[in-house]
Structure 1
Amino acid sequence: MEAMEPAYGTATLLTIAAGAVALLLFLIMKVKLHAFVSLVLVSVMTAIAVGFPLADIPDVLMFGFADTLGSVALLVAFGVMLGRLLEITGGAQVLADTLIGRFGERRAPFALGVAALLFGFPIFFDAGLVVFLPIILTVARRFGGSLLLYALPAAGAFAAMHAMAPPHPGPVAAAEALGGNIGIVMLVGVPIGVAAWYVGVMPVSRAMAARFHVDVPEALFGEVRDDRGRPAKGEEREAGRESGEAGDAGRRPPAFGVVLFLLLVPLVLISFDTVIDTLVSAGVVDEGAGWAVFLGLLGNTTVALLISVIVAVVLIGRPRTTSMSQVSDVLDSALGPICSIILITGAGGMFGGVLELSGIGEELSTSLSDLGMSLIVQAFVISALLRVAQGSATVALTTASGLLAGSVAEAGLGDFQIALLVVAIAAGATVLSHVNDSGFWLVSRFFGMDEKTTLKTWTVMETTLGLAAFLIALGLWVVT
Structure 2
Amino acid sequence: MEAIEPAYGTTTLLLIAAAAVAVLLFLIIKVKLHAFVALVLVSVLTALAAGIPVGDVPDALTFGFADTIGSVALLVGFGVMIGRLLEITGGAQVLADTLIARFGEKRAPLALGVAALLFGFPIFFDAGLVVFLPIVFTVARRFGGSLLLYGLPTAGAFAAMHALVPPHPGPVAAAEALEGDIGLTLLVGVPVAVVSWYVGVMLVSRVLGRRVYVDIPDVLFGRVDEENDETEGGGTGVRTRTAPAFTTVLGVLLLPFVLISFDTVFATLTTAGVIEEGATWAESLMLLGNTTVALLITVLVAIVVLGRRDRSMADISTIFDRALGPICSIILITGAGGMFGGVLELSGIGEALSNSLSDLGMSLILQAFVIAAVLRVAQGSATVALTTAAGLLGPAAAAADLGSFQISLLVMAIAAGATVLSHVNDSGFWLVSRFFGMDVKTTLMTWTVMETTLGLTAFGLSAALWAVA
- State the TM-score, normalizing by the size of structure 1: 0.96
Change (3 A) 1:59 1:226: closer
Code of the aligned partner of 1:333:
R
Question: What letter is aligned with 1:219?
Answer: V
| Structure 1 position 205 matched with structure 2 position 208 | no
Map residues 278-297 of structure 1 onto 2, 5 A cutoff.
Answer: 278-297=268-287
- Are residues 1:340 and 2:329 paired? yes
Residues 261-297 of structure 1: CA distance to partner in whole angstroms, max 9, x if unpaired?
Answer: 0000100011110111111111111120001110111
Matched residue SS, 1:107: helix
**Deviation at 1:227?**
8.2
Matched-pair contact (CA < 8 Å) for 1:90–1:247 = no
* Structure 2 partner of 1:301: 291
How far apart are 1:228 and its partner, in Å?
Answer: 4.0
Match of 1:36 in 2: 36
Among residues 243, 254, 261, which one is paired with 1:271 in the alignment? 261
Instruction: Report the alpha carbon displacement of residue 427 of structure 1 after superposing the two structures with TM.
Output: 0.2
Structure 1 residue 230: deviation in Å? 5.6
Q: Deviations 1:167-193 (Å, cap 9, x if unpaired)?
A: 000000000000000000000011100
Partner residue in 1 for 2:245: 255
The one-letter code sitting in structure 2 at the alignment partner of 1:200 is G
Aligned residues: 465
Uncovered stretches (5+) of structure 1, i.e. residues with no partner: 232-245
Q: Which residue of 2 aligns with 1:326?
A: 315
Partners of 1:72 and 1:100 lie apart in 2 by: 31
Instruction: Note closer, same or farther for the CA distance 1:458–1:228 as it changes in structure 2 (3 Å cut).
Output: closer
1:64 maps to what in 2? 64
Partner of 1:242: none
Q: Write the distance in 1 (CA, Å) between the matches of 2:459 and 2:84.
A: 38
SS of the residue corresponding to residue 122 of structure 1 reads coil
Amino acid at match of 2:61: L
Q: Distance in 2 between matches of 1:276 and 1:324?
A: 35
> In the alignment, residue 297 of structure 1 is paired with which amino acid?
L
2 CA distance for matches of 1:320 and 1:216? 28
Is 2:372–2:417's contact at 8 Å kept on the other side of the alignment? yes
What are structure 2's unaligned runs of at least 5 residues? none
Matched, 1:381 2:370: yes
2:450 matches 1:442: no
* Matching of residues 23-102 of structure 1 within 5 Å: 23-102=23-102
Residue 13 of structure 1: aligned partner: 13
1:191 aligns with 2:175: no
The two structures, once aligned, show a CA RMSD in angstroms of 1.2
> Cα deviation per residue 1:179-235 (whole Å; 9 max; x = unaligned)?
00000000001110000001111111011111110000011223122784369xxxx
Alpha-carbon displacement from aligned partner over 1:289-318 (angstroms, at most 9, x marks no partner): 001110111011110000000000000101
CA distance in 2, matches of 1:444, 1:433: 11
Q: 2:256 aligns to what SS in structure 1?
A: helix
Q: Is the 8 A contact 2:90 2:238 kept in 1?
A: no
Distance change in 2, residues 1:226/1:58 (3 Å): closer
Offset, 1:144: 0.6
* Preserved CA contact (<8 Å) 2:230 2:315: no
Superposition deviation, residue 332 in structure 1 = 1.1
The one-letter amino acid paired with 2:190 is V
- Provide the rounded CA distance (Å) in 1 between the counterparts of 2:222 and 2:191: 35
Q: After TM superposition, list the pairs within 5 Å mapping 1:237-256 onto structure 2.
A: 247-248=237-238, 250-256=240-246
Q: Which stretch of the first structure deviates more once superposed, 247-256 or 469-478?
A: 247-256
Aligned to 1:479: 468
CA distance in 1, matches of 2:10, 2:219: 43
Aligned partner of 1:456 among 435, 445, 455 = 445
Write the letter of the residue equivalent to 2:291: T
Amino acid at match of 2:269: L
**Matches of 2:377 and 2:221, distance apart in 1:** 33
| Partner amino acid, structure 2, of 1:302 | T
What CA distance in whole angstroms lies between the structure 2 residues aligned with 1:66 and 1:247?
Answer: 39
- CA-CA distance at 1:320 after TM superposition: 2.2
TM-aligned CA distance change 1:302 to 1:467, over 3 Å: same
Amino acid of the residue matched to residue 348 of structure 2? G
Partner of 1:403: 392
Q: 2:326 is paired with a residue of what secondary structure?
A: helix
Q: Partner residue of 1:178?
A: 178
- After superposition, the Cα gap between the structure-2 partners of 1:406 and 1:261, relative to the gap in structure 1 and judged at 3 Å, is same
1:371–1:378 contact (8 Å) kept in structure 2: yes
Shift in alpha-carbon separation, 1:368–1:333, aligned structure 2, 3 A = same
Structure 2 residue corresponding to 1:423, chosen from 390, 412, 416: 412
> CA separation in 2, counterparts of 1:164 and 1:465?
11
Kept in 2, the 8 Å contact 1:247–1:320? The answer is no
Cα distance between partner residues in 2 of 1:103 and 1:476: 32
Match of 1:234 in 2: none
Q: 1:311 and 2:310 equivalent?
A: no
**Alpha-carbon spacing, 1:429–1:248, altered in 2? closer, same or farther (3 Å):** same
Report what 1:243 is aligned to.
none
In structure 2, what residue type is equivalent to 1:125?
A: F
User: What's the TM-score, normalizing by structure 2?
Assistant: 0.98
CA contact (8 A) 1:227 1:250 kept: no
State the shift of 1:406 in Å: 0.2
Q: Distance in 2 between matches of 1:301 and 1:190?
A: 22
* Contact 1:140–1:216 (8 Å) recurs in 2: yes
Contact preservation (8 Å) 2:128, 2:158:
yes
8 A Cα contact 2:88 2:227, kept in partner: no
Query: Once the 2 structures are TM-superposed, how far is the Cα of residue 249 of structure 1 from its aligned partner?
Result: 7.0
Q: Aligned-pair distance for 1:31?
A: 0.2
1:364 corresponds to 2:383: no
